[in-house]
Structure 1
Amino acid sequence: MEEFWDEVYEAIGEMIFTDKIYVFREIVDEPKTIREIANATGMPYVTVRKYIRWAAEKGLVTVVGTKKVGGAISEKWLMTIIPEVEEIEENNLVIRIKLKIKMRREFCEWVCPFKDKCPVFKKIRSGEKVVPYRRVEIEKRTFKGERTRVCKPVEVLA
């Protein structure tokens, strides 16, 4: 059970600390096609498709419909989780982000392997309006430095 959640948290961390977050931010509230995401983010279509494919393998996004774009039918993608930043701490060279991760019904139904044992999923299945969530802390080590090409001289006092 821990291994499953560790992989989910690791994927969320990778999403947040890379430019993938720009793609997924577009589909947290509203499903969009890959073309719509590419237009909104200014990223190449191929890059967006690669990020969406990665997230689909991790269970972070899913297809929730289709839309006719030009003469073709395009899939509309939506996040299966909703990450909400609660706090950001910057200590020395470590950034910690505390998140509240809400799971959508799609995550519980299609991704989570523990739905048969989960009391919250039983409530969802019975029709109650509940949203399961977890609190997660993700950290990343950072590097800080000046982006100049010339070193500064050390002044020596005589």
Structure 2
Amino acid sequence: MKRYPLLACIVLFALAGCAGNRPVPPPSEEYVEVDNPAATMSPSAPATVWVPRRYVESGIPRGGELVKKGYEAATRGAGEAPAPPPRGGEPRPYPRYYRVVSVDKERVCFSSERGAGVRPGVKLPVHRGGSVVEGIGFVPGPLVGTVTTIDPGPSGPICGRLGEGGEARVNDLVRVE
């Protein structure tokens, strides 16, 4: 009884030892035999390999060729650079946050670009801090109140009156959508 499993293991080892690199008959005319480029990586690698004929005739694109083909595909039909979107009226898919630069009793001023589209009389939420989350963007901190904007004037920061909620501090964030 104990001999049969041992005998079976010996037969399997003998069959496994017989398996190896055997010459393979050449495939159809669609393939050609070339020197093995990976022969230096392994001492037991065969000296030649069969590859599709189209690889030999047209060649496999390399790094510089791939970059050139990608550039041509991206700029195909484009004679000039596309015009940037018009400023002002375009909707923004994400909210913008501006930092509070000064607080004086109920008057809160925050940094903003002049073309931010902030109009007088708009209520804006004020957040305390926040964090940047990779893949998502900016996640604001807790809501501390609202600011109702006042006419910003030709230059300087945009200001507003502190409304509902707690008190604003310098470096809080005003959310503009």
TM-score by length of 2: 0.21
The higher radius of gyration belongs to 2
Q: Which has the higher helix share?
A: 1
TM-score by length of 1: 0.22
